[in-house]
Chain A
Amino acid sequence: MGALTRERDVREAYAAHSGELYGFAVRSLGDAGLAEEAVQETFLRAWRAGDRFDPEIGSLRTWLFAILRNVVIDLGRARAARPRVAEGGVEPSVEPLEQALLAWQVEEAMRRIGEDHRKVLLETHFRARPYSEVAEELGVPEGTIKSRVYYGLRALRVALEEMGYED
């Protein structure tokens, strides 16, 4: 796909990327309605600026996420500016948003890897349970838990790379 100048291009872009964009918008805005608004605004801005998208420079996905990132900042500001008793009332800064994007990518990557690998990483790493206990619960040797941790991390890396992650 070249520049994003035809309505059909936008439709294809929506089919390919709206799920991820929406998932991240929900996570960072914490509200399904605002997330919808953010995704809609993202595709409108993408279409208006479509002739400036250059696939030689970066992927469409990266470009759309960069637009969404700005939209989320704008929406966060608008929300913060609304006169109501603020929850913290802090304007979202760039740093936590980049971190939110990365956190969402890791969570999404975890959802994409195989069930066996996800389960073992969740129990041993996130819930800090001993390998022996998880092995017993799953009815497999402890060595299997260890190798699932290894293959799970490798799968996670592949899933993250598919989402544009690089070290």
Chain B
Amino acid sequence: MRTDDHRDWKLSLGAYALGDLPPDERAAVAAHLEGCEECRAELRSLEGVAALLPLADPARIEQPTARPPADLGARIEAQIAAESAREGRARKRRRLRLGFGGAIAAAAVAAALAIAILPGSSGESSPAQKVDFASLPKGVSIDATLEPHAFGTEIEMYVSGVRSGTLCRVFLRDAKGRTYSAGSFRYRWGEDSHAVLSSALDLSQAKVIGVHAGDRTFMAPVDQATALVGGAGIDAT
């Protein structure tokens, strides 16, 4: 057997595997297969594929490959970022509870009493506030936790669902409508999705928290009655 012949036989194996050869050619290929291990191995490999062909629908083969909508990836990213942010907060709350335990509870009771007795007293003694931004566009999620400090207010902010790279400028407003900047951050999908900022305004004086995200502004009232300390709500009234 010459090499050229062998190559010719090999080229017939596709048609052989698919059962397309006329009887005389088929018999000739079968005779060659008897004596050629290499062609037998090649045939086995082709037969595996040939057996799958009937599953395919020729009309579907000729249709262009279906492509997912261009924004599907971004929507999935937003949803995962939102879940990630929720998990991050849960972790932080757990950490607070574990780290401070009873001391936090005692401080919270003291703070609650302070508010009850002296409404509008120094922010330093107010408990932390959790703020929920309601009525946001679909897919956008923002919330913030505000903590009183001697310098003013620390704001831990979670944003998701806006375009990656969006500049977010955060501010607080007091009862007279005066705005106090809390700084800015860029929302980046795929990075830690929360930012810690600070404003000079005392938390007890804050009436509104807002964020300019790109060309949109979202605001939420700072409800002095919904305190969040160590994961437990404290009723200050």
Question: What is the interface of chain A, defined by CB distance below 8 A to chain B?
Answer: 6-8, 10-11, 14-15, 18-19, 22-23, 26-27, 32, 35-36, 39-40, 43-44, 47-48, 99, 102-103, 106-108, 110-111, 118, 121-122, 124-127, 131, 143, 146-147, 149-154, 156-157, 160, 167
Contact = CB atoms under 8 A, between A and B. Distances in A.
14 contacts: A10-B77, A18-B68, A32-B66, A35-B66, A103-B55, A110-B56, A124-B20, A125-B18, A125-B53, A127-B58, A146-B12, A152-B14, A153-B49, A157-B45
A127 B79 CA distance: 46
Contact of A19 (B11, B49, B60, B67): B67
B14 A149 contact: yes
B189 A36 contact: no
B72 A149 contact: no
Contacts of A160: 49, 52
B81 A7 contact: yes
B62 A44 contact: no
Q: Is the interface of A mostly helix, strand, loop or mixed?
A: helix
Contact of B84 (A7, A110, A126): A7
Contact of B65 (A23, A39, A48, A106): A23
A149 B20 contact: yes
Interface of B: 10-15, 17-18, 20, 45-46, 48-50, 52-53, 55-58, 60-62, 65-69, 72-73, 75-77, 79-81, 83-84, 189-191, 193
Contact of B53 (A48, A106, A131): A106
A106 B50 contact: no
Nearest to A152: B14
Q: Please list the 4 inter-chain residue pairs (A to B) with the smallest Cβ-Cβ separation, ordered nearest first.
A: A150-B14, A149-B14, A22-B68, A126-B58
A156 B81 contact: no
Contacts of B72: 18, 22, 36, 39-40
Given A7-B190, A146-B14, A150-B10, A156 B49 contact: yes
A124 B81 CA distance: 51
Given A126-B53, A143-B11, A146-B12, 15 more contacts: A14-B73, A18-B73, A19-B68, A22-B67, A36-B72, A43-B76, A43-B80, A107-B57, A149-B15, A153-B18, A154-B14, A154-B46, A156-B49, A157-B45, A160-B49
